[in-house]
Amino acid sequence: MKKWWLAVVVLLLLTSCSSQDAGGPFPSKNIELVAPASPGGGWDTTARAMQKVFDDEGIVKKPIQVINKPGGGGEVGWKYLESRDGHSLAINSSLLITNNLLGQSDLSYQNFTPIAILATEWEAVVVPKGSEINSVKELMTKLKKDPKSLKIGVAPGLGNDDHLSFVQAAKTFGVNVPKLDFLVYKSGGDVATVLLGNHIDAATMSVSEAKEQYKAGRVKILAVSSPKRLKGLEKVPTWKEEGVDMVFPHWRGVMGPPNMSEEEIAYWDQRIGQMVKTDAWKEILKNNEWEPFYKDSGESKKFLEEQYQMYKHLLNDSGLTQ
């Protein structure tokens, strides 16, 4: 039992290594990227992609750690961010706004410092291969006649982008939106499963979740929410072409804690601006079927305000808030 002194020595060494939290120019210590979800999801993927590019390309010199804080549709992670300083950033998406509007969280975009919007996906309306419906017009006409005639799959919750993009489109066709039958699933994969098994009549999901099934000819995509037709889906019309004036991004961004200094914001603008230009980042976007959607801190702020107004109206229309 003479090993104990060894342990003490190692312990001392370790503590001395980790306590190098000196002042100096920003960043002066390790960077934290908060993914407000468990490993595996979109938020976590975004955080780890950032970590990888920052690190591999030497854009950020300090060590970067991804921290998973799942719970409450992001609330747990964002609450944690609120208590940190400018060395911590968190991934966000429209849930930041909708959770608050739905009364599920006290936090909203005003409580944080917008840093950037990074990328976006687009939404698609999908029906099974054997479906007799061939266009959104047919789909909506049917729903207008009887909102309960078709069952629509959505994931992972009411009030998210999948759901609201459909709501917005349906509304312009004059469908009685609050009467629609949505089946809520845990993930896009689950929705794809029931769609392939013909258990539901239609689904609204992000393009990346539907694309592979579409290419294999197992589902039909009726419309996408992008401004222009998408690569690989040249035959699928946009909502605009179908007569709905709607562009609906399903975006992801990053934000920092409240009260960040000008210097800190400028640092991140510069580094993230550099990151989105790298080939490594573009490669990751391509692999995940995400589209570049970069906005810097100033643009992000404006964008979030616009989004807030839009979601407020949409949630009202959907019947979730009154």
Partner 1 sequence: MGVNVQSMLEGLMTALEPGNLLWLAFGGFLGTIVGMLPGLGPATAVAVLIPITFGMDPTTALIMMAAIYYGAMYGGSRSSILLNTPGDGSAIAATFDGYPMAKKGQAGQALAISAIASLIGGLIAVIGFVLLAKPLAEFALKFGPAEYFLLMLFTLSAIVSLSIGNMTKGFISMSIGLLLSTVGVDLQSGVYRFTFDLPQLSEGVDFLVVIIGIYAVGEVLYNYLTIDQPLDKKKRDVGKIWVTKEQWKRSRWPILRSGPLGFIIGVLPGAGGSIASLLSYTTERQLSKRSDQFGKGAIEGLAAPESANNSASVGALIPLLTMGIPGSGTTAVMLGAIIMLGVKPGPLLFEDNPVMVWSLVNSMFIGNILLVLINILLVGLLVKILDTPPKMLYPLILVLSFVGTFTMNYSVVDFYILLLFGVIGLFMKILKFPIAPLILALIVGADMEQNFRKSLILSDGNLGVFFASPISIVLILMTVLSVCYPLIVNGFKKRKRTVEQRSTNI
Partner 2 sequence: MIFIRFFMPIFFVLVSICFLIGTFHLPKAKLGDPNGPLYFPAGVSIFLLITSFVYLIQEWRQQQKYPEFKRLLSGRTPFLIVSTLVLGLLYALVFLTLGFLVSTTLFLAALLFVINGRSKWLLNLTVAVLFSMSAWVVFSQWLDISLP
> Does the CA dihedral 33-36-38-39 come out positive or negative?
negative
Candidate list 29, 30, 52, 317; residue touching partner 1; CB under 8 A: 52
276 neighbors 65 (Cβ within 8 angstroms):
no
Contact between 276 and partner 1 by CB under 8 A: the answer reads no
As a whole number of angstroms, the distance between CA 209 and CA 206 comes to 6
Which span sits near partner 2 by CB under 8 A: 4-12, 124-132, 214-222, 246-254?
Answer: 4-12
Residues linked to residue 31 through DSSP beta bridges, in sequence order: 64
The bridge status of strand 181-184 relative to strand 151-154 is parallel
- Kindly identify the residues of this chain, within the stretch 104-143, that bind partner 1 according to CB under 8 A: 104-105
Q: How far apart are CA 321 and CA 159, in angstroms?
A: 10
Work out whether 181 is an interface residue with partner 2 (CB under 8 A): yes
| From the list partner 2, partner 1, none, partner contacted by residue 3 (C-beta under 5 to 8 A by kind) | partner 2
Judged by CB under 8 A, the chain residues 137 through 176 that form the site for partner 2 are: 158
**Separation between Cα atoms, residue 313 and residue 322, nearest integer Å:** 10
Residues 149-168 that bind partner 1 (CB under 8 A): 151, 156-159
Please report how the helices 262-275 and 297-318 are oriented relative to each other, as an axis angle in degrees rounded to 10: 80
**Nearer Cβ to partner 2, position 305 or 317?**
317
Which two structure tokens, joined as six digits, stand for 131? Answer: 């479906």
Does 310 participate in binding partner 1 (rule CB under 8 A)? Answer: no
Q: Which two tokens stand for residue 303?
A: 């964008």
288 binds partner 1 (CB under 8 A): yes
Q: What is the rounded CA–CA span in Å between residue 295 and residue 302?
A: 10
* DSSP symbols for 46-100: HHHHHHHHHHHTTSS-S-EEEEE---GGGHHHHHHHHTS-TTEEEEEETHHHHHH
66 touching partner 2, by CB under 8 A = yes
178, 181, 277, 309: which one binds partner 1 (CB under 8 A): 181
- Point out which span in 10-18, 21-29, 149-157, 206-214 binds partner 2 (CB under 8 A): 10-18
Q: Which residues bind partner 1 (CB under 8 A)?
A: 38-41, 44-45, 48-49, 52, 67-73, 75-76, 79, 102, 104-105, 148, 151, 156-159, 181, 183-187, 189-190, 192-194, 196-197, 199-200, 212-213, 215-216, 218, 283-284, 287-288, 320
Q: Which residues bind partner 2 (CB under 8 A)?
A: 1, 3-4, 7-8, 10-11, 14-15, 65-68, 158, 178, 181-182, 318-321
